[in-house]
């Protein structure tokens, strides 16, 4: 055991060590959350988990006790527990290293677990807690060494500090265990060490506080916009979308026909979700037009808004992948706004731009025909979630998101494909991106334990703005067998399918293939996602006992 442990007497300074280290770690963790994963700060995730876990009586008691300050009280409570555990970790680390660091690491694990239980949690959600724990562990290790009365503290003592001549220890010298400093040298040196230590500990805690405040300031904009979003009541649609009950087969494990917002895939280049206040939002239509058009939020929501159901898909979706989702969108046809601007006859593209500079190139003809290409403000009955483009985004049936679905959209430039290029086009992707005919097996899941006998094979198939005519399933190299289709909501949405399989024992490969309403049969030719979307047949190996 290191020599330090015996001599770090008392518990106050060691406890200060723990508290300062944890303050440092939590501070940088909160800053990391602001940048990497908003709403995943160590404090918030632990608080949210506690709220979810608390039995109703505890919630009632908290509300009775603290009223509307119940959440603030919870955060203060977590803070107090954290200070106590941090203090204990400091004392432990001074006496029984590395157990203090282990305890701090466990706090990080609690934070990471809490973060991963949050709805919508991405892989990044555990990063703030991990960064907080690593920061705190390193700080604890460094600070404990500087506790007065330890060799390291002596070694870090500035040269020329008040000490009787001759008391200077040669660097690296070790003293025999149990040796004490000569009387007279102890006090002044101890006093210097103590001040030095408090400087280090205070510095660590101050850095943590500044980082936390910085993170807080960074998130202020998005919090304000989130609050504004919550006050919005969507206008009633002039045309409502209906989702027939028979569109949902209700098979466990199959993607629901309408994807809940919290489960909807998210893809964009935004490191931090742009915070756009609707009051300051406007959209400008310009370029090759007869007259420029500009529309504000208030003007947009006063227009007759229509509901439509459209399945969005990402060009980066691998065969069988999950970068696809279907929602009921509320919005206004882009064609109507373009008609006000009157595009010139030789224009063939609209370059849409988001507030953060992302651009997408959409064929003008697609935005002018009769499909539901809209400026959307609602998603499944709610204002757009911030990460899905609040307050306004584009939704265009039939095209991959990277050439059509601009979120936080603020600008439409009518132009030509030979005159302008969009964000992904300049990075190796195709300038046009019609969605390819595809199908996916959702159940049985890979690795699911199955018995020989009746097995439900089911999934989804899509070819937006064309529609699905049929889905077939193949077992091993057998004949293609027709699957049963659910009711399609429209040609712009995916459709669920099922195939009732009388499965023999053994290992088998299931394969799915869709046929479009135009007669196109899904190709088995395998192509990667670059430059314009993957092709190939989704297959799944299953084992039946
Ligand atoms: N502003 C902006 N809009 C964007 C993107 C982006 O990076 N920035 N990505 C696009 C891509 S590639 C896709 S697939 C869709 C995804 O929309 P979602 O995140 O709402 O599912 O948004 C599109 N709109
Ligand atoms: Mo995408």
pLDDT band for position 150 (50/70/90)? confident
Residue 97 lies in a domain: yes
Question: Where is 507: in which H helix or E strand?
Answer: strand 506-516
Q: What are phi and psi of 49, to 5 degrees?
A: -65, -45
Summary mean pLDDT of the chain: 90
Sign of the Cα torsion 31, 37, 38, 43 reads: negative
Q: Which two tokens stand for residue 459?
A: 């999934």
| Residue with CA nearest ligand 1 atom 21 | 266
Domain count, the chain: 3
Residue 40 lies in a domain: yes
Q: Which atom of ligand 1 is nearest to the CA of 355?
A: 1
Indicate the residue among 404, 427, 450 that finishes a domain. Answer: 427
| Residue with CA nearest ligand 1 atom 15 | 401
State the Cα–Cα distance between residues 261 and 259, nearest whole angstrom.
Answer: 6
Choose the weakest-confidence range: 139-153, 241-255, 471-485, 496-510.
139-153
Threshold 0.85, pTM exceeds: no
Q: In angstroms, what is the span from residue 475 Cα to ligand 1's centroid?
A: 36
Is residue 66 over pLDDT 90?
Answer: no
Residue with the bigger pLDDT between 170 and 296: it is 296
Q: Which two tokens stand for residue 259?
A: 């994807």
Identify the burial level of 203 via C-beta atoms within 10 angstroms of its C-beta, where 0-12 means exposed, 13-18 middle and 19 or more buried.
middle
Do both 509 and 380 map to the same domain?
no
Q: What are phi and psi of 248, to 5 degrees?
A: -110, 110
- Identify which ligand lies nearest to the alpha carbon of 354: 1
State the Cα–Cα distance between residues 225 and 243, nearest whole angstrom.
Answer: 31
State the Cα–Cα distance between residues 363 and 471, nearest whole angstrom.
Answer: 30
Per-residue pLDDT averaged across 89-104, rounded?
94
Q: Which atom of ligand 1 is nearest to the CA of 402?
A: 12
State the Cα–Cα distance between residues 434 and 371, nearest whole angstrom.
Answer: 14
State the Cα–Cα distance between residues 308 and 315, nearest whole angstrom.
Answer: 22
Cα 452–chain centre separation = 40
Identify the burial level of 464 via C-beta atoms within 10 angstroms of its C-beta, where 0-12 means exposed, 13-18 middle and 19 or more buried.
buried
Residue 76 lies in a domain: yes
| Residue with CA nearest ligand 1 atom 18 | 266
Q: Which atom of ligand 1 is nearest to the CA of 266?
A: 19
Q: Are 359 and 422 in contact (CB under 8 A)?
A: yes
Do both 353 and 334 map to the same domain?
yes
Q: Which two tokens stand for residue 116?
A: 């991963």
pLDDT in tens, 161-182: 444 443 444 444 444 444 444 4
| Ligand 1 probe mutation, 317, 405, 532, most atoms within 8 A of CB | 405
Do both 361 and 309 map to the same domain?
yes
Write out the residue range of the structural domain in which residue 36 sits. Answer: 3-154+189-218
Is residue 234 over pLDDT 90?
Answer: yes
pLDDT reported for residue 151: 63
| Residue with CA nearest ligand 1 atom 16 | 267
Residues 6+ apart with CB under 8 A from 78: 43, 46, 47, 50
Q: In angstroms, what is the span from residue 407 Cα to ligand 1's centroid?
A: 6
Across the strands, what pairs with 237?
A: none
Which of 148, 154, 178 has its CA nearest to residue 167?
A: 154
| Ligand 1 probe mutation, 283, 310, 361, 407, most atoms within 8 A of CB | 407
Do both 413 and 502 map to the same domain?
no
Q: Which atom of ligand 1 is nearest to the CA of 356?
A: 1
| Ligand 1 probe mutation, 266, 402, 422, 529, most atoms within 8 A of CB | 402
Do both 418 and 477 map to the same domain?
no
CB atoms inside a 10 Å sphere around CB 317: 22
State the Cα–Cα distance between residues 169 and 182, nearest whole angstrom.
Answer: 12
**Lining residues, ligand 1, CB within 6 Å:** 264-270, 312, 314, 354, 356, 358, 388, 401-402, 405-408
Across the strands, what pairs with 360?
A: 352
Across the strands, what pairs with 501?
A: 455
Q: DSSP assignment, residue 383?
A: E
| Ligand 1 probe mutation, 267, 376, 386, most atoms within 8 A of CB | 267
Q: Which atom of ligand 1 is nearest to the CA of 265?
A: 21
Residue 173 lies in a domain: no
State the Cα–Cα distance between residues 203 and 135, nearest whole angstrom.
Answer: 14
Q: Which two tokens stand for residue 54?
A: 């608390």
Distances (CA, A) of 505 to 131, 279, 543, 545: 49, 62, 7, 6
Do both 450 and 422 map to the same domain?
no
Which of 311, 157, 145, 152 has its CA nearest to residue 241?
A: 311
Residues 6+ apart with CB under 8 A from 542: 444, 446, 448, 450, 455, 503, 507, 508, 509, 510
Indicate the residue among 406, 427, 448 that finishes a domain. Answer: 427
Residue 260 lies in a domain: no
Q: Which two tokens stand for residue 458?
A: 């089911």
Do both 21 and 135 map to the same domain?
yes
Do both 363 and 449 map to the same domain?
no
| Residue with CA nearest ligand 1 atom 4 | 406
Q: Which two tokens stand for residue 158?
A: 């500035």
Q: At what angle do helices 42-53 and 99-116 cross, to 10 degrees?
A: 70
| Residue with CA nearest ligand 1 atom 10 | 402
Q: Which two tokens stand for residue 441?
A: 């097996």
Q: In angstroms, what is the span from residue 188 Cα to ligand 1's centroid?
A: 64
Dihedral, 94, 100, 101, 107 alpha carbons, nearest 10: -150
Ramachandran bin of 93, using left for φ above 0, alpha for ψ from -120 to 50, beta for the remaining angles = alpha
Is residue 157 over pLDDT 50?
Answer: yes
Q: In angstroms, what is the span from residue 506 Cα to ligand 2's centroid?
A: 38
Residue with the bigger pLDDT between 205 and 118: it is 205
Q: Which atom of ligand 1 is nearest to the CA of 388?
A: 20
| Residue with CA nearest ligand 1 atom 20 | 388
Per-residue pLDDT averaged across 174-197, rounded?
61
CA atoms within 13 A on the CB side of 319: 20
Q: In angstroms, what is the span from residue 523 Cα to ligand 2's centroid?
A: 21
Do both 80 and 195 map to the same domain?
yes
Identify the burial level of 487 via C-beta atoms within 10 angstroms of its C-beta, where 0-12 means exposed, 13-18 middle and 19 or more buried.
middle
Across the strands, what pairs with 510?
A: 475, 540
pLDDT in tens, 195-224: 999 999 999 999 999 999 998 888 888 889
Residue 282 lies in a domain: yes
- Looking up tokens 């527990």 gives 81
Residue 225 lies in a domain: no
Do both 193 and 83 map to the same domain?
yes
Burial track 413-430 (b if 16+ CB lie within 10 A, e otherwise): bbbbbeebbbbbbeeebb
CATH number reported for the structural domain that contains residue 419 in this entry:
3.90.420.10
Across the strands, what pairs with 366?
A: none
- Identify which ligand lies nearest to the alpha carbon of 359: 1
Is residue 17 over pLDDT 60?
Answer: yes
Residue 457 lies in a domain: yes
Question: Where is 427: in which H helix or E strand?
Answer: none
State the Cα–Cα distance between residues 509 and 501, nearest whole angstrom.
Answer: 12
Q: Which two tokens stand for residue 368?
A: 């002018």
pLDDT in tens, 43-60: 888 888 888 888 888 878
Residue with the bigger pLDDT between 522 and 47: it is 522
| Residue with CA nearest ligand 1 atom 8 | 268
Q: In angstroms, what is the span from residue 394 Cα to ligand 1's centroid?
A: 9
pLDDT reported for residue 40: 83
- Identify which ligand lies nearest to the alpha carbon of 315: 2
pLDDT reported for residue 160: 44
Do both 365 and 415 map to the same domain?
yes
Indicate the residue among 370, 404, 427 that finishes a domain. Answer: 427
Angle made by CA atoms 313, 316, 322, in degrees to the nearest 5: 55
Do both 344 and 471 map to the same domain?
no
CA atoms within 13 A on the CB side of 40: 29
Is residue 271 over pLDDT 80?
Answer: no
């Amino acid at each position: 055991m290191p020599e330090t442990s015996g001599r770090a007497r008392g518990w106050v300074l060691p406890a200060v060590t723990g508290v300062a280290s944890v303050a440092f770690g939590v501070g940088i963790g909160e800053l990391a959350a602001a940048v990497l994963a908003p709403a995943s700060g160590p404090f918030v995730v632990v608080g949210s988990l506690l709220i979810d876990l608390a039995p109703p009586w505890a919630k009632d008691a908290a509300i009775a006790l603290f009223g509307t300050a119940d959440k603030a009280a919870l955060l203060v409570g977590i803070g107090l527990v954290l200070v106590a555990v941090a203090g204990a970790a400091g004392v432990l680390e001074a006496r029984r290293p590395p157990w203090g660091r282990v305890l701090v690491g466990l706090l990080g694990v609690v934070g990471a677990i809490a973060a991963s239980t949050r709805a919508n949690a991405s892989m990044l959600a555990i990063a703030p807690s991990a960064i907080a724990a690593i920061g705190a562990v390193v700080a604890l290790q460094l600070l404990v060494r500087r506790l007065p009365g330890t060799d390291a503290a002596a070694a870090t003592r500035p040269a020329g500090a008040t000490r009787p001549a001759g008391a200077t220890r040669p660097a690296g010298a070790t003293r025999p265990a149990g040796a004490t400093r000569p009387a007279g040298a102890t006090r002044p040196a101890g006093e210097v060490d103590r001040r030095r230590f408090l400087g280090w500990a205070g510095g660590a805690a101050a850095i943590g506080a500044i980082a936390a405040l910085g993170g807080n300031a960074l998130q202020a904009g998005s919090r304000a916009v989130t609050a504004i979003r919550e006050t919005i009541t969507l206008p009633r649609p002039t045309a409502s979308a209906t989702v027939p009950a028979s569109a949902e087969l209700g098979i466990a494990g199959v993607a629901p026909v309408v994807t809940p917002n919290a489960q909807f895939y998210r893809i964009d280049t935004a490191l931090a979700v742009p915070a756009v206040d609707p009051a300051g939002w406007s959209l400008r239509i310009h370029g090759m037009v007869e007259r420029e058009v500009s529309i504000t939020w208030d003007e947009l929501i006063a227009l007759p808004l229509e509901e439509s159901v459209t399945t969005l898909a990402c060009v980066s979706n691998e065969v069988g992948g999950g970068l696809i989702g279907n929602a009921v969108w509320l919005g206004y046809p882009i064609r109507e706004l373009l008609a006000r601007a009157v595009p010139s006859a030789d224009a063939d593209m609209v370059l849409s731009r988001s507030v953060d500079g992302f651009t997408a190139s959409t064929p003008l003809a697609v935005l002018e025909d009769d499909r539901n290409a809209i400026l959307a403000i609602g998603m499944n009955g709610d204002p757009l979630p911030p990460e899905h483009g609040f307050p306004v985004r584009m939704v265009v049936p039939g095209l991959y998101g990277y050439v059509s679905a601009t979120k936080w959209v603020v600008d439409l430039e009518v132009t030509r494909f030979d005159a302008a290029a969009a964000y992904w086009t300049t990075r190796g992707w195709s300038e046009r991106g019609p969605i390819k005919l595809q199908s996916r097996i959702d159940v049985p899941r890979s690795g699911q334990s199955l018995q020989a006998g009746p097995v439900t094979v089911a999934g989804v198939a899509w070819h937006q703005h064309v529609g699905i005519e049929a889905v077939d399933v193949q077992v091993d190299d057998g004949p293609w067998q027709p699957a049963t289709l659910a009711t399609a909501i429209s040609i712009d949405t995916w459709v669920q399918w099922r195939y009732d399989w009388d499965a023999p024992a053994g290992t088998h490969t299931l394969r799915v293939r869709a046929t479009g309403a135009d007669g196109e049969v899904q190709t088995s030719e395998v192509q990667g996602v670059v430059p314009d979307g993957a092709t190939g047949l989704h297959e799944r190996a299953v084992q039946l006992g």
